[in-house]
A and B are shown apart, each in its own frame.
Chain A
């Protein structure tokens, strides 16, 4: 006979009111709150939240009993961690050696011009981020880009610009429509 276990109430809500913290608690619990697990916990936090906010770092510091200076030091050491929220759309350009010799720089230039931002920045309206990756390891398809999670290979600057402009303008339209309705 299978009876469903009642969900314990303390597992439903986190004191912060943000249930994403539960996922981080789970990771910390899995590693028995050991200080050595800092990198694993930061990895989990980056995955769940998309970026590491100041509050989040303080929370991890208190829970693991690791000084804030150390948490900040470790977090800023590694490239995968970001401290600002990403744009609604994200375009990652691979800058690995194979992509570099096949013109990744020109794609970055084209996008910088199209959206008026530098690599690693987000547009002021928060709609588009331009990110650089060291190597995505799909060198056979160079140059490679990832637009909103979808990988495109053997790309040209024009095609990438057009594709990125399309997704962003679609979001803009939706935004104006909601505003009109509102």
Chain B
């Protein structure tokens, strides 16, 4: 074991960080980058430079997602012995003001030094900002951009998977080590047998976060018990569900956490190679995971001798090319093998015959990211969070008609009402709540009367929806439910791989019936046929895609039947009007 070296590197980084009086964190996750975080980061850097202060006065740090994506770009200032301050909607110019407010300005000559004219932020600018800040007294324009960290959006969350996102620099292995990274792996390699690791995960009652909720420890045990020489670990990062970006955020913002979970899994099941299958639409996630793998290899965390032990493990990235069905495990395996991503009959399950017919563990990114925390804090700790059957936390991408949207991590069992009205801040523009859609095209719509039900696997299933991978879209009363159901059906028509008939033909026919109803040409019989067809597709399709594709239609039929009836009535009145 040579974990001591890594610990030393982590400690050195921690000491280095401790020397700075203040650290300015700038979110560089996809959502904030889209809102202009790239320029903000450059501007922060240049402004700190322009302050001409002592080197240890301030450091600008690139981090991952801070959660409140609707107010991006986000910047957080942490000063020693002071409460952190979070700023939202920062522009390049506001970034300069922000620096002048927090960072002391050193000695600056009246005359600009040579080369200063070419800078986009000169020391004189900083003096100017400082002066106008003084003039304005305590009331500065910047105050409007401060977001209270006591807001329920932050205080209601419990962070396990997202514990270090927004704090560590995702491109720096040292930073992850400084925050206790790879300690779980070191502990596992030194003190635990593969069987003990599987049992620990089993006891934590961690369930697959890809949506189906299969007990992770059980899956690992199946593969561990297989006698094959070659075994594989695949991390499923093919997040095709529209409106969901949890896995991308974890991969982008804390890549080493995913990698650590993956290596622990490989040790537990006896695999020597693994793949991270990442959606092609996620270039930043791909680059950061690749860098994490390179760095881990260099530090001997991956390779022939992991941390100096005789356990060997190699990880590589495979890029998906945009097929929703590849989220299904057998389809994903085919895709990694370079084939069309089509599912096959199960059994045999991948745990007996997976990638290249070898026993294979496939887990979602979020599932893997839970593993290091479980090892570090113990199975009991993890099992103490959540409800009786659903333990731990769940990350949701909260979107739609809400005041606060972004990425949240909540304990299982929290009510939808708390998520919508406290974390999400309610529906804007004085509109009413209509439905919460979980699980994307495979999930369902939950109406207002069930807002107090807890968010866990069983409760959501009972309501005709699913936990899904973590997309949570809130819609207000301006949305027509048949239209909304049709939107998801169009998606499934497009994404059906075409292998089995119920899904290939059924989804198209469901779509046609919906079109007919929406166009005002439908009758009650069409609604009945729609219901029957949905049941047929649900029960007879080959894989999860087809089996769950009717959920949006079925759940809206169940809870918003009146809207379908209205469409039929309108059609009838229009007809009688013509006569």
Contact = CB atoms under 8 A, between A and B. Distances in A.
B is bound to A: yes
Interface in A77-110: 77-81, 95-98, 100-102
A144 interface: yes
B341 interface: yes
Interface string A125-160: 000000001111111111010000001010000000
B338 A74 contact: yes
B338 A97 contact: no
B31 interface: yes
Contacts of A78: 320-323, 341
A144 B34 CA distance: 9
B410 to A, nearest CB: 17
B406 A74 contact: no
Interface in B391-419: 397, 399-401, 405-406
A145 to B, nearest CB: 10
Contacts of B241: 135
Contacts of A135: 241-245, 281
A101 B321 CA distance: 26
B72 interface: yes
A43 interface: yes
Interface stretch (A16-24, A30-38, A165-173): A30-38
A43 B280 contact: yes
Nearest to A137: B245
Given A77-B323, A79-B322, A135-B244, A141 B35 contact: yes
A108 to B, nearest CB: 13
Contacts of A96: 242-243
A80 B399 contact: no
A39 interface: yes
Of all A-B residue pairs in the complex, the 4 with the closest CB atoms, nearest first, are A140-B69, A97-B243, A78-B321, A79-B322
Chief secondary structure at chain A's binding surface: helix
A39 B69 contact: no
B340 A98 contact: no
Contacts of B245: 135, 137-139
A73 B335 CA distance: 12
B31 A134 contact: no
Contact of A139 (B240, B321, B336, B399): B399
A40 B342 CA distance: 17
Interface in A5-49: 35-40, 42-43, 46
Interface residues of B, number: 52
Interface in B504-536: none
Interface stretch (B153-161, B217-225, B297-305, B471-479): B471-479
Contacts of A80: 280-281, 321-322
Contacts of A46: 321
A98 to B, nearest CB: 4
Contact of B70 (A35, A40, A140): A140
| Interface residues on chain A, size class | 35 or more
Contact of B31 (A38, A73, A81, A140): A140
**Which of A40, A79, A97, A136: most chain B CB closer than 10 A?**
A97
A73 B473 contact: no
B243 A40 contact: no
B340 A137 contact: no
Q: Which of A39, A102, A153 has the most CB of B within 10 A?
A: A39
Contact of A73 (B240, B337, B340): B340
Interface of B: 30-31, 33-35, 68-72, 239-245, 248, 280-282, 318-324, 335-342, 397, 399-401, 405-406, 437, 440, 471, 473, 475, 479, 484, 487, 491, 497
**Which of B282, B322, B335, B338 has the most chain A CB within a 10 Å cutoff?**
B338
B322 A100 contact: no
Contacts of B30: 136-138
Max chain B C-beta neighbours (<10 A), residue from A42, A77, A102: A77
A138 B405 contact: no
A138 B242 contact: no
A156 B35 CA distance: 16
A101 B281 CA distance: 21
Given A98-B405, A137-B282, A40 B31 contact: no
A142 to B, nearest CB: 7
Contacts of B338: 35-40, 74
Contacts of A137: 30-31, 239, 244-245, 248, 281-282, 397
Most chain B CB neighbours (cut-off 10 Å) among A42, A80, A139, A153: A139
Contact of A141 (B31, B282, B336): B31
A166 to B, nearest CB: 20
A97 B321 contact: no
Contact of A101 (B71, B240, B323, B479): B479
Given A97-B487, A136-B281, A137-B248, 15 more contacts: A42-B321, A43-B321, A79-B323, A95-B242, A97-B473, A98-B399, A98-B400, A134-B281, A134-B322, A134-B491, A135-B281, A137-B281, A138-B69, A140-B399, A153-B34
Nearest to B69: A140
Given A35-B338, A36-B338, A97 B399 contact: yes
Contacts of A138: 30-31, 34-35, 69, 245
